[in-house]
Structure 1
Amino acid sequence: MWGLRCWRNEASPNPLQRRGLKKSAAKVLSFGEDLGEAFPAYSLYLDCNKQKMLEQYDLHNLMVLDIETVPQYSSFADVPDHFQKLWDLKTQYQRKEETAEEFYERAGIWAEFGKIICISVGIFINGRNTGLRVKSFFSHDEKELLEKFAALLVSQPPSLILCAHNGKEFDFPYICRRMLINGVKIPSQLEISGKKPWEINHLDTMELWKFGDYKNYTSLALLTAIFNIPTPKDDIDGSMVGRVYWVENQLERIATYCQKDVVATAQLLRRYRGEELIPDESITLVGF
C-alpha cells in the first residue's frame, strides 16, 4: 500500500471530509480509506447508501406487457405457394431434419409469418399499497387489436416506459413489424428510429438478468421459480398457443395465460428492486 500512502498528508482532512461529507462516512475500513484517497470515486461509492436495482424508475410510469402469437394460417397447406417457398428458405437452417411443413407450427415466432392474437398490459397503481391493474386486447382481427393497443399508448405520456420479458428481442419489434404490415401507425413509445439509446424507454427483465452476459437466456418461468414468485398452474404453455387457437378456438383461454405472464413480469420487477410482492388482493384483472 506504499504507493497509495506515500503522498498522504496526515494533517490534511480526509478526502471525503474535504468534499463536505459526514465525518463518520469518512471512517471506512483502512483499505477502503487508502483506495478512497487514490480513487475518490471509490470513497463516494462506499459512502452512498445502497441503491436498489431499478430504483431510478417510477413504476407508476411503466407499463408491463406480453404478447401471444400464432401462425397466420391454420396449416401449412393453407399457406399460399409463394409464401410456402419463402418459409422454406427462411427456416432452412433452423429446421434441421424437419420439413418446412412440420416446422410450420412454430411460424408464430416470426413476424413475417405469424400474427398477434393477444396483447396483455399491466400498470402499477397508487394506493395504500402498490397494486397492479391488468387488461388484455385480443381478437381474431389483428388490425383491430393493434389499433386498440396503439390508441392506449397514444393516450399515455411519451415518457411511458414499456417493459417485457425478452421484450427487446421479441415483443417490441414484433408489435412494430405487425403494425407496419397492418398499416397502423407506430406510437412514439415503440418507435426507436432516430432515437439515441438512452432516449428509448424500454425495459427487458431478461436483459436485466443478463448483467452484460449476452450468451445467457433465462426464461420467465425459471426466474419466477428462483425468486419464489408464486404463479398459478397453467393449463397451457407457449408451445400450445397455436393449437389452442387454431384447433380448439379458445382465444379467451390464451388471453388468461397472457395475463399471467404480465403479472409474473411485474412481480419479477418488484423482486429486482428488492421490494415485496404485490398481494393477490391488490391485483385487478379487467374483465374480457
Structure 2
Amino acid sequence: MLKKLKLENILFLDIETVPEYEKFEELSKEKQQLWEDKSKYQRKEDFTPAEFYNRAGIWAEFGKIVCISVGYFTFKNQQRTFRTTTFQGEEQKLLIEFKNLLGTYFNKPAHLLCAHNGKEFDFPYIARRMLIHGIALPEKLNLFGKKPWEVPHLDTLEMWKFGDYKNFTSLKLLTHILGIPSPKEDIDGSQVRDAFYVEKSIKRIVSYCERDVVAIAQIILKFRQEELLQKPEIVSV
C-alpha cells in the first residue's frame, strides 16, 4: 500500500516546542495551579511544579511552537529533489503561514501529512495551538467526524509498531537501525528549550528540525525499499 502512494503527495513535517514562558514564575497564579495539577502524575514527588516546568513544552496547554519544518519531493526530468522549508517566529504568524501552505498546495484528497509520532504529538499539538489562537483548522487537521481510514495522516512510528502499541521507538533509534544518517548531529529535543530561551538560537533549532524532516522522509524511502536521499538532492528553500 505504501509503495502505491505518490511521494510528491506527502508533506513531511516536524515541530519544535518550548514552554510558553521561560520561567514558571511568569505564569499567572491560576495557571501555576493548573500546571501543578496537570503535571502531578508525571513529576510525582521528585520535582516541584517550578522545577518540572522546563518540560512544559510537551503540553499544548502550557507550551508553544517555535518552528514547523516541512519537506516534500519534486520530480523533474526524472530528477528527484527533496525541498525543505521552515515556518518560524511569532507562533500565531507561523501557524497561519503553515495553514496557508496546506490550503494552497496540499489541499487535495490525495495529499497526506507525515511525521514521526505525529498522531500523538505533532498533529494534535498544531491543531490545539491553532484553536487557542482562534485559527480555524485546515481540512487536513480537522478530524471531527472522520473515520480512521479517512484521516490523511501517516506516522512512521505507527508503521514501525506493526500493531504493537506498547512499543515506542525514537526517531534517533529508528534511523540508526535502518542505516539512515542520524538527524541528531547537534542538539536533541531536551535541549531545544535552552537553545531558545538561554542561547536565543532559533537558527540552531530550525536546523535540527529540518534534519528531522529529512530523516522522516528517509524512513519512508527505506520502508518502500527505495534509494535514500543524498545531500545533492536535499535543498533548503
TM-score bucket (shorter structure) = over 0.9
Counterpart pick for 1:129 among 73, 79, 93:
79
Verify the 8 A CA contact 1:166 1:207 in the aligned structure 2.
Answer: yes
Quick check: 1:147 aligned with 2:69? no
The one-letter amino acid of 1:138's match is: Q
Counterpart pick for 1:67 among 15, 26, 31:
15
How many pairs were matched up? 233
The structure with more radius of gyration: 1
Q: Name the structure 1 match of 2:113.
A: 162
Verify the 8 A CA contact 1:158 1:189 in the aligned structure 2.
Answer: no
Cα 1:204–1:232 shift into 2, 3 Å:
closer
What does 1:28-39 align with in structure 2 at a 5 Å threshold?
A: none
For the residue of structure 2 that corresponds to 1:258, the secondary structure is helix
Deviations 1:19-43 (A, max 9, x none): xxxxxxxxxxxxxxxxxxxxxxxxx
How far apart are the structure 2 equivalents of 1:83 and 1:205?
34
The one-letter amino acid of 2:22's match is: S
- Gaps in structure 1 of 5+ consecutive residues: 1-52
For the residue of structure 1 that corresponds to 2:166, the secondary structure is coil
How far apart are the structure 2 equivalents of 1:235 and 1:152?
28
Cα 1:233–1:195 shift into 2, 3 Å:
closer
How far apart are the structure 1 equivalents of 2:29 and 2:4?
51
Q: TM-score, normalised by structure 1?
A: 0.79
What does 1:232-271 align with in structure 2 at a 5 Å threshold?
A: 234-271=185-222
Q: Name the structure 1 match of 2:3.
A: 55
For the residue of structure 2 that corresponds to 1:135, the secondary structure is strand
Q: Where is the strand percentage greater, Structure 1 or Structure 2?
A: 2
Deviations 1:114-161 (A, max 9, x none): 00010000001103232210000011x110010000011000223210
CA RMSD of aligned residues (A): 1.1
Q: Name the structure 2 match of 1:115.
A: 64
Q: Name the structure 1 match of 2:162.
A: 211
> Identity rate of aligned residues, in percent?
54
Q: Name the structure 1 match of 2:139.
A: 188
Quick check: 1:84 aligned with 2:35? no
Cα 1:167–1:232 shift into 2, 3 Å:
closer
For the residue of structure 1 that corresponds to 2:36, the secondary structure is helix
Q: TM-score, normalised by structure 2?
A: 0.96
Higher relative contact order (CA 8 A, sep 6+): 2
Cα 1:232–1:65 shift into 2, 3 Å:
closer
How far apart are the structure 2 equivalents of 1:232 and 1:62?
20
Deviation at 1:185, TM superposition (A): 1.4
For the residue of structure 2 that corresponds to 1:130, the secondary structure is strand
The one-letter amino acid of 1:211's match is: F
Runs (4+) of structure 1 exceeding 6 A deviation are: none
